[in-house]
Structures are given as C-alpha cells and as structure tokens.
Amino acid sequence: MSEDQDDEEIDDDAVAAEWAAMAEEGEGEGDDGDAMADEWAAMAEEDGDDGAAARVLNQDEIDSLLGFQGDGGGGGDRSGIEAIIDSGMVSYERLPMLEVVYDRLVRMMSTSLRNFTSDNVEVSLDNITSIRFGDYLNSIPLPAMLAVFKAEEWDNYGLITVDSSLIYSIVDVLLGGRRGTAAMRIEGRPYTTIERGLVRRMINVVLADLSSAFDPLSSVTFRFDRLETNPRFATIARPANAAILARLRIDMEDRGGRLELMLPYATLEPVRELLLQMFMGEKFGRDSIWENHLATELWYTTVEVQAVLDEVYVPLKDVMNWKVGTQLLLNATPDSSVLMRCGKVPLFRGPMGRSGNSVAVRVDERLLE
C-alpha cells in the first residue's frame, strides 16, 4: 500500500507541475493577445479618421437608398435607385391639356352618375400618375372588374378598373338598397350576370362622358369592348410600356369606391400635339390671321411664265464658235406644242398661235398637280 500511495503522490505532483507550466504559457499568450487587440484598435481609429470606413448602414438608410418606403403608398415621390430607373418615363405633366380633360370628365361624371343612380353622387380626382403597364396590372387589388374599351378614331385601347367596393355599391344603389347601410360584400364567389350587367351600364356612362371630355380637343368615340375579372386577360399593351393612370373616387353618401382610368401613351399618340398645349386653342407660335392674309395675297402675286418652243443641247465648243448669222435648228414645227413653265416647274402645254398682233399659246394640258 505504501508503494502504491507514493506512486500516486508522484503522479499528482507531476500533473500539478504540468498544469503550472501550461498556465505560465497561457499568460504569455494572453500578453500577445492583448498586443494584437491594441493593434486592431489602433487600425480602427485610423480608419475612422480617414472617413468612417468602418461605418455600417442601418436598415432605414438601406431602404432609402433602394427607394423602398415604409408607408406602402404608391402615389408618393420615389427616391433612390427606383427613381433613377423610372427617370426615363414620360410624366403626364408634359401633357398639360390632359389634366383639363380629366377635370372636365369629373364634372360631367358627377351629373351623369346622379342621373344614372338617382342618388347624390360626388366624383373626385385623386391623382394622375405615370406608370408602366405591367406594374399596374400587378398592383390591381382583386376582386375587381376590368373593362377594356377602344378609341375608334385612334385605333387603340384603354382600360377602366372598378374595385370591389364600387361594384357592390352600384349594385346596391341600382337594386334599391336601403340608405344608411354599407353595401354587403360577399367574398370568394365570382360576380353574377346581374352584377356584370349593371357595372357594364355604368362603364358605358363613363365612356360617353370621356368622349365628350375629349371633344374640345379631338372628336373621338370610346366603345366598350369586353369585361374581364382576370388582369391577364385585360392586357392591351406590353408590360414595359408607359401609361397614364387617373384614379377617381366615387362617393354615394355612405357608399362608394374607386374607379381607375388607364390610357397607354400609344393610345394618346395621335393627339399628343393637342395635349401639349398649355391652353385651349394654342397654336405653338402660329398666327391664323396672318396665315389667312398671306394666303389671300398670294393669289394676287405676279409671276413670270416662260413659253418654251423647244430645247436643244449643243456642245460648248460649238457654242464658242458661233458668230453673227449662225443658224440654230430646232426640232419643232408650227404645229408643235409649247411648254409653259415658271422657273423650273412645268405648268401647262398647248399649241402656239396668234391673238391680234400678239403671239399666243392655248392651254390644252395641265401639268401642275
């Protein structure tokens, strides 16, 4: 027993000595670690002096850079990368007369919808924005009805979106719903034939007013084409094409909803010059009074008309050898037609004759188109 105990004590002493040596080495390494930490701190201070290179953007700054806004509203001003991407899009403000047209549309719709619903209807224009067609289709809240219409004279299409609240409100008003109660909304079912028919009648009223609103600028007829409930089936332009979106608010006392009118720029291209006017009747520097006066005076302008009997082409060396008495032979007879022209423009052709003591040409053929 005594020998075994001595061996255990010797082993314990060896282990204790080994742990002590490791501890001393650890202290040395700790000194090296402190030195390395001091070195890193010094480097961080130098970077801070150079311009806050170690600074990290927070989430709000990243969202601002990318143009993401927390309010979720699509009508606000865009900033950051999103604003740079959309900077090439044409703004509706470059078409001043379009806002006048929409203002006229709002006034006419207020009267027309009052007659249509026999109720007190207020129509207001929320905003007019430029948007890409694909982005608009992806942002339409469903369920909704999308009416595709065609501008006959412009040979292109437009889109009217009626949201669910306005659909149920129109149906409720036209079918005699009681006042003071909100329109009942039944989600999860397709729209019935009656609901589609009533909404189509309202859209026809809106299209008639839109045609009348454009009449002072250009006579155009907007014809109802089809009614869709799936935005994919209402595609009338390429997703990247720019369009003008007008959001209208229709209130009928305690009921109402939104109606959105979208016109692609390609649809408005035939009347683009008219929409660029700052005021109705602007002619971009043209003066109609002066144009009419100039056209009237041109009829009394004196011009010189030449009667050409014939033309021959002679080499220059022969012309240089001409002398007094040299004869020039023409390929014309007394019965040949004479060409009359003003400058280099041919006007008439006819035979040559005599009128009193003057040589005359009778006009038989008109060459001026």
CATH code for the domain of 182: 3.40.1550.10
Q: Which domain holds residue 104?
A: 89-275
Residue 292 pLDDT grade (very low, low, confident, very high; cuts 50, 70, 90) = confident
Q: Answer whether residue 162 shows pLDDT above 70.
A: yes
* pLDDT above 90 (res 147): yes
Confidence of residue 150 (pLDDT cuts 50, 70, 90): very high
pLDDT in tens, 7-48: 544 566 676 677 666 656 555 545 555 666 666 666 656 555
Q: Are residues 109 and 217 in the same domain?
A: yes
- Does residue 309 surpass a pLDDT of 80? yes
Most confident of 88-92, 181-185, 302-306: 302-306
Retrieve residue 314's tokens. 């002679």
Task: Using alpha carbons, list the distances in angstroms from residue 155 to 147, 161, 245, 271.
Answer: 17, 20, 19, 12
Identify whether residues 233 and 118 lie together within a single domain. yes
Residue 158: per-residue pLDDT? 92
Average pLDDT, the chain: 78
> Is the predicted pLDDT of residue 267 greater than 70, yes or no?
yes
Residues 267 and 311 in one domain: no
Query: Partners of 249 in the beta sheet?
Result: 124, 258
Q: How far apart are CA 121 and CA 119, in angstroms?
A: 6
Distance CA 48, CA 335 (A): 104
261 and 112 within one domain: yes
Q: What is the pTM of this model?
A: 0.54
What tokens were used for 46?
């130098």
* pLDDT above 90 coverage of the chain, percent: 15
Does a structural domain hold residue 310?
A: yes
Q: Is residue 360 part of a domain?
A: yes
Asked if residue 64 belongs to a domain, the reply is no
- The pLDDT of residue 73 is 44
Same domain, 168 and 311: no
224 and 310 share one domain? no
Answer yes or no: is pLDDT of 63 > 60. Answer: yes
Which pLDDT score is estimated for 218? 84
Higher pLDDT residue, 168 or 17?
168
| Arithmetic mean of pLDDT, 74-92 | 55
Question: Does residue 306 fall inside a structural domain?
Answer: yes
Overall number of domains in the chain? 2
Percent of the chain with pLDDT over 70: 71
Q: What's the whole-number mean pLDDT along residues 134-149?
A: 88
Q: Are residues 216 and 97 in the same domain?
A: yes
Q: Examine the domain organization and report whether 309 and 266 are in the same domain.
A: no
Same domain, 113 and 228: yes
Residue 327 CA to residue 25 CA, distance in Å, equals 130
Among residues 358, 366, 363, 312, which one has the least CA distance to residue 338?
363
Distances (CA, A) of 30 to 34, 40, 144: 6, 15, 70
Distance of CA 87 to the CA centre of its chain: 12
Residue 111 lies in a domain: yes
Say which residues have a Cβ less than 8 Å from residue 83's Cβ, sequence separation at least 6: 67
Q: Rounded to 5, what percent of the chain is helix, strand, coil? A: 45, 20, 35
Within 8 A by CB and 6+ apart from 143, the residues are 164, 187, 191, 229
On whether both 118 and 249 belong to a single domain, the answer is yes
Cα gap 89→92, rounded to integer Å: 10
The one-letter code for the residue type at 162 is V
153, 217 Cβ separation under 8 angstroms: no
pLDDT at 201: 93
